Amino acid sequence: MDLVSGLITALVGLAILLIVNQMIYWPRKGVPHVQTIPVIGSKYVSLFFGRTSIAEFSEELYKNFPDAKYFGVTMWNKPIVILKDLDLIKDICVKNFDNAPDHRSFINEKMDPILGKNVFSLRGDRWREVRSALSPSFTASKMKFLFQLVSKVSEDFTQYLIDNPEITKLIETKDAFSRYTNDVIATAAFGISVDSMKHRDNEFFFRGKDATNLSGTKRILKFFAGITFPRIMRFFGQTYLTKETNKFFIDLIHETVTMRDEKGIMRPDMIHLLMRARDASGIKIDMNDIVAQAFIFFLAGFDTTSTLMSFLCHQLAYHEHIQQKLREEVDDVVKDNEFSYEMLAKLKYMDMVINETLRLYPPATFLDRVCEKPFELPPATSNSEGMTADRGLTFWINIYSIQRDPKYFPHPEKFDPERFNEENKANILPHSYSSFGIGPRKCIGERFALMETKLILARIIQKFIIKPSEKSTENIKIAKNSLNLTPKGGIWLKFQPRS
């Protein structure tokens, strides 16, 4: 009985100590901070229970301390620095990258062999090794290598819409474009053909939906628990992906790589590029590394790119003059329905339209970095002192709200592609627009995402006029039960065939 009482006393004492440390962390640092609530950390906990959207959370957080270069918050037991000053963001993410080189990954290799070994989750020297080995696979010449695969999928997708006009009278664009990106990645990354518009319940699409699902209280809490309490999650054997989805992708890639090694099969896709990186880089890349990189390529492309396409079509539906100008460019550049990789570079106005959509709806609401070695931050305000960033401290860069700050983009709610014309884009302050990330950790798949987006957009604009439907609303509301910028109720549009 004495042992039990002693154990309870020790646990209570430890809990009190943790709470006290949590409560005094920011006052001790002497920097502006949002008031800490014992145990839960901050008032923003409503995000985790689906009471506020990620967009509302981002905007409310960003409005704190408007004149500060940074300020502190606490999420559960983790202190976080919210970076607001663009020069300071550059200093941490680019100039002194080695001070904070890694993401706050909630997965490691032991916990999840797929998510833990991908280039996003890896840390330190291993990240540098794998990134340098993979970078040659994402150059412009390699995108040209993959172009025909992606172009064929975009052609088939558009032809399906033409052949099934009843679909185009009312189409939920997020679902449709998720099927397109699913088919693109299936063929370009995994080497298999899937027709998700025709075969709507195929397993590849089903597993992709499961893997990219960040909706619902259970999945959101699991995500943040992995970030905040990784050791506890590992102790209980919790993985982010379901066991069935994990097994599906591991078996699929293992079988593909093994068969190609044994039979000397060469196919122009991402698996082939990863196998070449394995054989040529001089860096140890094993089967699990190939599985991990192929999967993160899928994870990043399945949801974020289809979401971009949905938001983009919505904006075109409500801005007819922009849509018409884009159509005229496509008609001028694409002759005799001949699509080529070089042609995409000529679609300058399309670049502007895509950039403006990404400004309003970036793929990631926040970027993060983790302090690797202590360094000094400048004073947050004119009447505060600087602080030492401790090892393990997390930095957040609020991309969504920075890109909607009228200080950097006048009339930020207005959809105006001219912000990105040759003259105006020169005036955009560095790091006020960072939709694909900042510095050495910038998204490695940017070229591929833009290629598949431009291809499908060019084909749709060429064949259809995008219009609002009876289920459309001009002002999009972001769903409260997702950590992504997910449109509440979807985006329903009409694709009217051009006469």
| Residue 159: pLDDT over 80 | yes
Contact 167, 200 (CB under 8 A): no
The DSSP symbol for 441 reads G
Strands 78-83 and 394-397, bridge-based pairing: parallel
Round the CA-based radius of gyration of the chain to a whole number and report it: 24
Residue among 302, 55, 297, 299 nearest 174 (CA): 302
Between residues 299 and 367, which one has the greater pLDDT?
367
Confidence of residue 150 (pLDDT cuts 50, 70, 90): very high
Contact 192, 255 (CB under 8 A): no
Compute the mean pLDDT over every residue in the chain, rounded to the nearest whole number.
86
Confidence of residue 84 (pLDDT cuts 50, 70, 90): very high
- All residues at 6 or more sequence positions from 223 whose CB lies less than 8 Å from its CB, including other chains: 106, 214, 240, 483
Confidence of residue 385 (pLDDT cuts 50, 70, 90): confident
Instruction: Summarize pLDDT for 104-113 with one digit per residue, the tens.
Output: 865 666 666 6
Exposed (0-12), middle (13-18) or buried (19+): which is 83, by Cβ within 10 Å?
Answer: buried
Q: What is the mean pLDDT of residues 242-257?
A: 81
Confidence of residue 127 (pLDDT cuts 50, 70, 90): confident
| Residue 237: pLDDT over 70 | no
- All residues at 6 or more sequence positions from 161 whose CB lies less than 8 Å from its CB, including other chains: 167, 168, 171, 460, 463, 464, 495
For 446, the enclosing helix (H) or strand (E) is: helix 446-463
Instruction: Summarize pLDDT for 409-444 with one digit per residue, the tens.
Output: 999 999 999 999 999 999 999 999 999 999 999 988
Share of the chain above pLDDT 70, in %: 86
Note the pLDDT of residue 239. 62
Note the pLDDT of residue 219. 56
At 305, list the tokens: 């790119």
Instruction: Summarize pLDDT for 201-221 with one digit per residue, the tens.
Output: 888 888 777 766 655 556 556
Give the lowest-confidence range in 250-264, 312-326, 384-398. Answer: 250-264
| Residue 378: pLDDT over 90 | yes
Contact 372, 394 (CB under 8 A): no
Note the pLDDT of residue 224. 59
Confidence of residue 466 (pLDDT cuts 50, 70, 90): very high
Q: How far apart are CA 184 and CA 152, in angstroms?
A: 9
The DSSP symbol for 137 reads G
Give the lowest-confidence range in 259-263, 340-344, 403-407. Answer: 259-263
Note the pLDDT of residue 134. 78
Share of the chain above pLDDT 90, in %: 49
Between residues 30 and 42, which one has the greater pLDDT?
30
Instruction: Summarize pLDDT for 173-210 with one digit per residue, the tens.
Output: 999 999 999 899 888 877 788 889 988 888 888 877 77
Q: What is the mean pLDDT of residues 115-133?
A: 80
Chain centroid offset of residue 296 CA? 11
Note the pLDDT of residue 31. 92
Note the pLDDT of residue 50. 72
Q: How far apart are CA 264 and CA 267, in angstroms?
A: 10
At 85, list the tokens: 């000053």
State the residue for tokens 């679609």.
347
Note the pLDDT of residue 119. 79
**What's the per-residue H, E or C state across 140-153?**
HHHHHHHHHHHHHH
Note the pLDDT of residue 3. 64
Between residues 185 and 343, which one has the greater pLDDT?
343
Note the pLDDT of residue 221. 60
At 189, list the tokens: 């990354």
| Residue 35: pLDDT over 90 | no
Note the pLDDT of residue 218. 60
